[in-house]
Amino acid sequence: MDILAAFAHPDDETRFLGGTLAMLASKGARVHILIATRGEGGEVGEPPLCSQEELGEVREKEMQCAADTLGASSLTFLDYSDPVVSDVGEVFAFDAELDTLASQILSAAHTVEARVIISHGSNGEYGHPAHKLVHQAVNHIRKMDHNMVLYSVSAIYDNHPKPRLANQDDPADFVLNIQPWYSSKLDATICHHTQHALFVRRASKAAGRTMSLAEVTSDEESLHRMWPTEKSDLDDPLANFLRTTCVEALREA
């Protein structure tokens, strides 16, 4: 089984889906990662690890490290430019036409013979406009190829460990205990060196102390099936794979 994980920035694949990707790869699935931008508009680290102008190149290398750590079979960038975060921390969507972006993602899926695409949720996890844009593009694929199976990450369920990052409009179809693959997820998180301060900042402020990467890295992940919308698992390669090959990780929401 081939799966395409399509996200807006380097690190999205790890923070929202890293344990699941590592699990799938370890069970014999071929995991392919597609990233729309190189995250060149994001943070450069604390203290700075590079200049803003160098960030895209640095984050591309970080992304390759994470992809290798998670066991991905391929990594592709779409070469969109990530807008620079504003002085007050406002983030923006990259400049893309929806039909074009959807076609590019679908083409990438066809190239690696993936029938399953996993991507951002409808609320952009914590509302990031670029995440919402990629979600909309993936959702649009249902109109372009009815045979594709589409899932989104960070689906909401009772007692979600990180409700701020959960997509409130996307009920979970699968909740996964990725503890056996947690070390791979954490190692992939470490690959994204320039983003470490960003990963821990909010939790550290809430706790009144500096939190570690391990403390802010969840060992549960969840998926919402966007398409097909009916609950039948017939002709859904991912659902069948999870139920037959990943039983020890699976608990349904």
Q: Mean pLDDT for the chain?
A: 96
Q: Which of 160, 110, 118, 94 is CA-nearest to residue 23?
A: 118
Q: What average pLDDT does this structure show over 41-63?
A: 97
In 27-97, where does DSSP find H-type helix? 55-70
Residue type for 225, please?
R
Instruction: Give the per-residue pLDDT at 232.
Output: 73
3-state secondary structure of 249: helix
Instruction: Give the per-residue pLDDT at 233.
Output: 76
This prediction has a pTM of 0.97
Q: Could you tell me which residues come within 8 angstroms of residue 233 by beta carbon, excluding any fewer than 6 positions away?
A: 239, 240, 243
Q: Could you tell me which residues come within 8 angstroms of residue 200 by beta carbon, excluding any fewer than 6 positions away?
A: 210, 211, 212, 213, 215, 216
**pLDDT 10s digits, 213-249:** 999 999 999 999 999 988 777 789 999 999 999 999 9
The band of 252, judged by pLDDT with boundaries at 50, 70 and 90, is low
The band of 34, judged by pLDDT with boundaries at 50, 70 and 90, is very high
Q: Which CATH number fits domain 2-251: 3.40.50.10320, 1.10.1040.10, 2.60.40.10, 3.30.1330.10?
A: 3.40.50.10320
**pLDDT 10s digits, 99-147:** 999 999 999 999 999 999 999 999 999 999 999 999 999 999 999 999 9
Q: What average pLDDT does this structure show over 159-180?
A: 96
For the chain, give the percent of residues with pLDDT over 70: 99
Residue type for 91, please?
V
